[in-house]
Structure 1
Amino acid sequence: MSHTVSKAPPGSDAFFERNLAAFKTHMPSVWQLLETIGTPVSKLVSGPDGAMNIDLGSVSLYDRDAREVTRQQLDEYFKLPDRLKFSTVSHCNLIGLSMALFQSTRTFIDEHMSPEEFVELPVVDIGYCYVFGVGLGYHLEELLERTHCRTMIIVEPTPELLLHSMRAIDWVALWEQAAARGQDVYVVIRSEPEHVSETIFSIQDKHGRTFLNGSYAYHHYYSWTLKRIRELINTKMESYHWSKGYFEDELLMMGNTVGNFARFNHAIIPWEQRLHQDTPVLVVGSGPSLDKDLPHIARLRDQAIILSCGTSLGILLKHGIRPDFHLENENTYPLVNNLIKFKEEYGLEGIVLLGSSSIHPEASAQFDEVWYYYRSGLSCDHLLNPGYHAIISAGPLVANAGFAAVSALGFRRLYLFGVDCGRRPDASHHSKDVVYLQDDYDNWLAGSSLKGLEESFNQVVEGNFGGKIITSWKLAYSRTQFSRIQSLKNLDIHNCSDGAAIAGARPQAAAALRLSDMDLPREAVIRSVREQLPHYAAGKGLNIKNLKTYKESVESFGSGIKLIIEQARAEDRLFSELEDRIQNWFLEHKEDLKGVLVLARESMASAIRVGAYMAGRIDNEDLRQEFLAMFLDKFDIMCASITETALDAYDDYIDQAKAARSARAGSPGSIAPDPSERL
């Protein structure tokens, strides 16, 4: 372990101040926190050769000289380093276009390599090195040099230990050496595990998920806090690598939104603050505890507004409970089949549909009145939203979307029923009357099944009414989104579900729940909310000029990406170089390319991720270059397909918008068609 020595000797005040100034430059938020620390409780122990330990009071951080301990620790670590390993390509989200490209990479590997030659972990393009604990920092320089990571994230829960390290190692030189090798170094010094894990993932969001596989994790010293941070990272990593969307799905959501806006008169639910509604709302999901609470929901029917979410509509109608609002959030046709069945059996008159703009138009067609919302981050939000704030935290469950939507409508007092976010060990995962459990139900999405649903429960959390609840990462994430909305809107939440506890929601036994009669008739409450919303006639929410501009951006993408790929063929030798090249082009032309990047960026990222995953495991340099050349050929074909498909899609969107405008112009009493005009 060699260390660059600055002009001021280690341990001196000048050396310390120079390091502290470096934090002000590179990590100003950390510097601000360090400035608030008074006299440290711990003490630096120095010897003839400089800093050698930290006295924590009753114990020392190291059992002997820190340099000796660190040297031994590093030697042992690199014999069998702790590395993040994805054993399959599932983290690449292989759907549609990216799946076809993966098949080409798999064929190349099968034809050119034996299984033994395809190594388990990447030998190039290492994304991250997570360092848990700074101590005196003697391990940092060697970890940077030997891991070849692109980004080092250092976690130190005790800020004053970081201060002591500034008299031991040269932080200035560390950042200089990292910059010279193209590496980034971050330091996180909070002690709250949840906050630290969120900060780490925000750093990863900035630098990307392409090169997560093979990342290093190094524990310098033991503490409960560091152990808990690592556990949280491991748990969140299960869902973190999933893409936020993919090309084919974004096209579907855009097409559905255009279809909805072209065909139906509708209102829009903005996230902006509405007038407060004092009327309580029962938000009803399809969790297993709904079965025992149905009599109480019926009892409370005249004292509250009822919102059914997804499949709970059929359950409520079967038991004679007619909701005021129903919410659908997904863009798939199976939910249409469910709604058609419910309409045929029970009728849906008088129920207002709250729906994501991207739901299938035939779902909208089952209701007499529909209020749409834009889901934050989707293509239809970025490309078709005229300026409203989109609904946030509208997932992963339809109950999350329902919760967020009614809070956006101004309702402040919400009661959760059947929102279990898990199940008791001896319970089912859904209400016994949910359509999924019917013997003849065959309306599953491709790749989904009852067995897969049952096998997803693999975590244990605290119950709303005590005890333990079995849950999944998706349901666990759902709980955090309820808590997020509750905190942002300062809502009064009562959780009547016998499932997982939700932070910010008070447990409330349904049997003991008593509500007063509503101050206003039900119809007056709904009318008051309706009158606050912007309303659009069919076709008036579509801006043809913008759609034409987006089509032009697809044409620019088609020619531009070919030039980028040609440059990559001539100059790039690593997938990290290819990714940087494409990302830089995206950033430089993000407005010019908006109409296609919003649709295809995640699929392109998935393709590069799978290429990097495969290439990193090819130890032979020449063969790796041959693989990259093959990949660029297939990637070129993929981008050409994106261009052609997106052009056809925009032609269709424009035709639908024009047809809706023509129909409107031909209607009696019609006025000049203005895409931004409301009813």
Structure 2
Amino acid sequence: MRAQYLKQFKKNMKHIKKNSPELYRKLTSTGYDEKWNIHIHEADGKLNLLLDGKPLYEIDIKEHSIINVENFVNRFLQKSKTHVDVFINTTEYFRESLHFKLLKKVDSLSFDKKFYTFEEGKDSEKVIHLLVVYGVGFGYHIKELLKKIKVRNIILADLDIELIRPSLYTMDWEEVFKDTNVTIAYGRDEKVLAKNIIKELKTINEVYAGMYYEYPLYESRVFKQVMQNIRYEEDEVIRGWGFFEDEIISLEHTYQNIEKKPPFYVRKKKIDKDTPVFIVGSGPSLDKDIETIKKYRDDVVIFSCGTALKPLVKNGLIPDYEFILERLKPPYDALLKTLSKEELKKLSIITVNLAYPGIYDLGGDKYMVLRVGDAGSFIFDEDYYYLVNTSPTVTNLAFSFALNMGFRQIYLFGVDLGYKDETKHHSKYSVYYADKEFKKEKADIYREVEGNFGGYVKTDRIFDATKTSLERNIRLYPDAYVYNASDGAKIEGAIPLKSNEIKLDRKYIKEKVKEIIESNFDRNFFHDKKNMENLRKKRDEVGKYFSDFIKEYKKTFMKKSQNIDEVYEKMEELYRILAEDIYEKSYSLWTLIRGTVYYALTIALVASLRVPEGKNRVEYFDEIFNEIGLFLEKGFKKYLEIVQKS
């Protein structure tokens, strides 16, 4: 190799080691693979990469890169940004929320005549906040691209780190990235690479999930699939933010439910790992599996997930435990439509701290568990047993509880998470067909996924996220055997097993299993003065941190910005304060406010493209910062109202 390339490599590594230790660690975390080599064509000095002695590029990669960059830049500068989706739904509850009102304000301000001079087809924005480059190689395209467009953050992505390293020999990283934050992502296949890119995106700034750009070095089936996978992952990132009203309800319900003093999950004794459990959802395939559930009703504990209760009851089955997750009233209404008040007295319910308080007023035993991810659960000390991956549906809650309790023989029925016919989306006995209030003619379609017993099924966003959450929990418990009898979506890590093939040893005494489950709930927890004092202390801490944050926000973010660079720096500082400082001080406050603020910043970035560069755009963002400040003040007032009632 020519000396100039080795010299450049050493210079780059010295610079990266000094200025970006984490990036240096990634670049040196694996040994050099000898199957990759840089080839210099003696006649003209052009470079190519060799894989096992064969050229990787069949084209002049330098010339190709320059042409490709020109095309990208032209498309980028001409791309028009139309009215942005403000992530709304149509329920009155949502439309009246502080969250929705802030997002509408952020979006509508960009149409204000004092800012709005948008011309169709022309986009004055010359800054990319996050660019993902697929294919790195010698980096010719990266160098050329950063000459023409300002890029604040860049992720260099490839399937193998050996395809990223060549740029260290041919490109001056210090010079090329002097105004750009750079990181890398690599993975052995499309799924792993997509997950690693999302991981880097979260590290940089989740807000950019709403408006990042992608640049592929060359046409590739692999890169296309990675981009598609990122769409699904990115959608999950944004959905996971939550929003203020959901979290304030979580706090309000948690405080109210604590006053009812239900048995509280502390997990003292695990179930024997060979003990089976049936987890029942209300997917359409449940109807054909009812007889199998009946066959083992006296031997196996049955967990019913939300609306699965009605199909079970219709077929003469009362589950051992009904699981409820949602914070709003519909699950309560569904219970009253399914069982009489006398029957409800015989029903044991396991639900979460944030559940609709009326649930805890129904007859029978009600048990409280904590779930990671809501503002109400985070007022409890960290040493209690939080359940993980419990959303977005109640099936996730029941599954997480079963694993946490020690069950390692888990059978899934009616957990379809997809459908072959969108008019047959739930059990025919479920409330979705029987009751006008819940009736749903057709299911939404988000995408197609592999079927549990082959072929493909259609799924919606919620079911797709449910599937992902179940798969995460399966990976957390590699010793668990999860048998999926549902004729719907394939769940990675679960074993497809048709219900008529299930053969169980009847050696377990069901009542003993239930005794162990219920012994893990402390009936005196909320009667203990020390526990209650700790909860009040945590509650008061949230209020103090909230008040302090508003003071800091006003001082830092509600003053006039001098230029657009200062605006972007303020946005990144706000993200850092939320993602690091507030996160460390108070999970509860972080969960309460971050979703709405993230959404507002995402929408502001996209909507600002309607506003011309310069003074107008700076003033637009300053108004956005002021609106976020007003939202925080109103939110704090709402928080105090909740606390005063508790």
Q: TM-score, normalised on structure 1? A: 0.85
1:579 is matched with which residue: 571, 575, 581? Answer: 571
Partner of 1:31: 27
Contact 2:48 2:57 in 1 (8 A): yes
Q: CA offset at residue 567 of structure 1?
A: 3.1
Partner of 1:60: 55
| Equivalent of residue 189 in structure 2, options 188, 192, 195 | 192
State the alpha-carbon separation in 1 of the partners of residues 469 and 127 from structure 2: 34
Shift in Å, 1:504: 1.2
Match of 1:468 among 456, 459, 467: 456
Q: What does residue range 134-149 of structure 1 map to in structure 2 within 5 Å?
A: 134-149=136-151
2:223 is equivalent to residue 226 of structure 1: yes
In 2, the alpha carbon distance for the partners of 1:107 and 1:358 equals 33
Shift of 1:159: 3.2
Decide whether aligned partners of structure 1 residues 74 and 288 sit closer, same or farther in structure 2, where only a CA change above 3 A counts: same
**Aligned counterpart, 1:417:** 413
Unaligned runs of 5+ in 2: none
Question: Matches of 2:443 and 2:354 in 1, distance apart?
Answer: 29
Could you tell me how far apart the structure 1 residues matched to 2:621 and 2:167 are? 42
Q: How does 1:495-574 map to 2 (within 5 A)?
A: 495-520=484-509, 522-538=510-526, 540=528, 541-542=531-532, 543-568=535-560
Deviates more, 1:478-487 or 1:544-553: 544-553
User: Residues 290 and 554 of structure 1: is their aligned pair in 2 closer, same or farther, counting only changes over 3 Å?
Assistant: same
Question: Is the aligned partner of 1:297 residue 2:297?
Answer: no
Match in the other structure for 2:309: 313
Partner amino acid, structure 2, of 1:168: T
Residues 243 and 592 of structure 2 are in contact (CA less than 8 Å); yes or no, is this contact kept in structure 1? yes
Q: 1:160 is matched by which residue type in structure 2?
A: E
1:232-247 alignment, distance < 5 Å: 232-247=229-244
Structure 1 Cα separation of the partners of residues 380 and 498 of structure 2: 43
Query: Separation in 1 of the partners of 2:583 and 2:100?
Result: 26
1:641 aligns with 2:643: no
- Decide whether aligned partners of structure 1 residues 85 and 20 sit closer, same or farther in structure 2, where only a CA change above 3 A counts: farther
Q: Which amino acid aligns with 1:531?
A: S
Question: Could you say if the C-alpha distance between residues 386 and 49 of structure 1 is closer, same or farther in structure 2, counting changes exceeding 3 Å?
Answer: same
Contact preservation (8 Å) 2:254, 2:354: yes
Please state how far the C-alpha of 1:501 moved relative to its aligned partner.
1.2
Specify the alignment match of 1:392 in structure 2. 388
Is the 1:461–1:500 contact (alpha carbons within 8 Å) kept by the matching residues of 2?
A: yes
Which residue of structure 1 aligns with residue 331 of structure 2? Answer: 335
Q: Does 1:74 align with 2:62?
A: no
Over aligned residues, Cα RMSD in angstroms? Answer: 3.1
For the structure 1 residues 342 and 537, does the alpha-carbon distance in structure 2 shift closer, same or farther, using more than 3 Å as the test?
Answer: farther
Tell me which residue corresponds to 1:156.
158
What is the CA distance between 1:645 and its match in structure 2? 1.3
- 1:600-679 pair list within 5 angstroms: 600-653=593-646
Does the aligned pair in 2 maintain the 1:355–1:372 contact within 8 Å?
A: yes
Shift in CA distance, 121/417, structure 1 to aligned 2, threshold 3 Å: farther
Change (3 A) 1:568 1:111: closer
Q: CA deviation at 1:169?
A: 2.0
Identify if the C-alpha distance between structure 1 residues 465 and 641 changes in structure 2 by more than 3 Å, giving closer, same or farther: same
Secondary structure in 1 matching 2:616:
helix
Structure 1 residues 215, 599: CA separation in 2 closer, same or farther (over 3 Å shift)? closer
Q: Pick closer, same or farther for the CA change 1:55–1:149 going to 2, 3 Å.
A: same
| Counterpart secondary structure, 1:282 | strand
> In the aligned structure 2, how far is the partner of 1:574 from the partner of 1:552?
29
Residue identity opposite 1:450 in structure 2: K
CA distance in 2, matches of 1:602, 1:83: 32
| 1:651 Cα deviation after fit | 1.8
State whether residues 211 and 602 of structure 2, in contact with CA within 8 Å, keep that contact through their aligned partners in structure 1.
no
Kept after mapping to 1: 8 A contact 2:191/2:229: yes
What is the distance in 2 between the residues matched to 1:611 and 1:60?
Answer: 46
Secondary structure at the counterpart of residue 89 of structure 1: coil
Give 1:253-268 correspondences, 5 Å limit: 253-268=250-265
C-alpha contact 1:342 1:348 (8 A) present in aligned 2: no
Query: Which 5+ residue runs of structure 1 have no aligned equivalent?
Result: 1-7, 444-448, 654-679
Separation of aligned partners in 2, 1:158 and 1:82: 31
- Provide the TM-score with structure 2 as the length reference: 0.89
Contact 2:158–2:193 (Cα < 8 Å) also in 1: no
Q: Quick check: 2:86–2:107 contact (8 Å CA) kept in 1?
A: no
